[in-house]
Amino acid sequence: KAGVTQTPRYLIKTRGQQVTLSCSPISGHRSVSWYQQTPGQGLQFLFEYFSETQRNKGNFPGRFSGRQFSNSRSEMNVSTLELGDSALYLCASSLGLAGVRETQYFGPGTRLLVL
Amino acid sequence: AQKITQTQPGMFVQEKEAVTLDCTYDTSDQSYGLFWYKQPSSGEMIFLIYQGSYDEQNATEGRYSLNFQKARKSANLVISASQLGDSAMYFCAMRVVLGAGNNRKLIWGLGTSLAVNP
């Protein structure tokens, strides 16, 4: 079974631009979660989508948005990029219905550098 | 407050020796899940092992075992026979259920950096 894939793997943008990151979950997984990881803040939860609906949201400004398609693929968008948005963005997929036993499987991440 | 604490920012271990990475958690929930992930320098987060709060046996997966002490609220990861490829960041995480339904939250620790020396 193929793992979680994320595209692109690396991205360089300038302040003020916008960016879209893509994530394809493991086949059969209906939940996709997004995380931002920086050396200073650690792993921070952005949002989770399940069956095309946002189920959970972290404490990020409205510049960060996402969506999920009917095939469970998900995209994350960051508008008006700031230098502080430079980070590793990780996508994780899971079945979505396993309660506390729910195991997330991560993609390789997208490294975003904002200049 | 629900929280995961990993008190060891960095650890060193000799190749072929065992190492224990500490994780303590705080929750008032009775049902929760505990996870360990490994993150090599490449960035990908790799799932290692899971322990449920109602599981009576400590979880094991190959060279990984979880030393689960519920009364002390600790879920330490034990890596036996360390290998050079074990050098990575290790994260402990806890999943709790929020309210009714299937809404869950995964709470992460700040991680422990493990270096395996040859």
Establish if A13 touches chain B: CB-CB under 8 angstroms. Answer: no
User: 């997929």: which residue's tokens?
Assistant: A93
B31 chain-A contacts, CB cut-off 8 A: 99-100
Report the C-alpha gap between B24 and B22 in whole angstroms.
Answer: 7
A80: which 2 tokens?
Answer: 């008006």
pLDDT of residue B102: 58
Strands, DSSP E only, in B42-87?
46-52, 60-61, 64-69, 74-79
pLDDT tens series, chain A, 115 aa: 689 999 999 999 999 999 999 999 999 999 999 999 998 788 999 999 999 999 888 999 999 999 999 999 999 999 999 999 999 999 999 998 778 888 999 999 999 999 9
What average pLDDT does the segment B55-70 reach?
96
What average pLDDT does the segment B87-97 reach?
94
A21: which 2 tokens?
Answer: 């990151």
pLDDT of residue B85: 96
Asked if the Cβ–Cβ distance from B106 to A101 is below 8 Å, we say no
pLDDT of residue B100: 63
Give how far Cα B3 sits from Cα of B11, B27, B33, B96, Å: 22, 7, 13, 11
Q: How many degrees, rounded to 5, is the angle at CA B106 between CA A52 and CA B57?
A: 120
Asked if the Cβ–Cβ distance from B106 to A106 is below 8 Å, we say no
pLDDT of residue A102: 86
Write out the residues of chain B at the interface with chain A, using a CB-CB cutoff of 8 A.
31-33, 35, 37, 42-47, 50, 52-53, 91, 95-98, 102-106, 108, 110-111
Widest Cα–Cα separation across chain B: 50
Query: Could you tell me which residue, B4 or B96, shows the higher pLDDT?
Result: B4
User: 């939940």: which residue's tokens?
Assistant: A31
Residues A81, A19 contacting (CB under 8 angstroms):
yes
Report the C-alpha gap between A20 and A110 in whole angstroms.
Answer: 11
pLDDT of residue B103: 67
Pairing of strands B88-97, B104-108: antiparallel
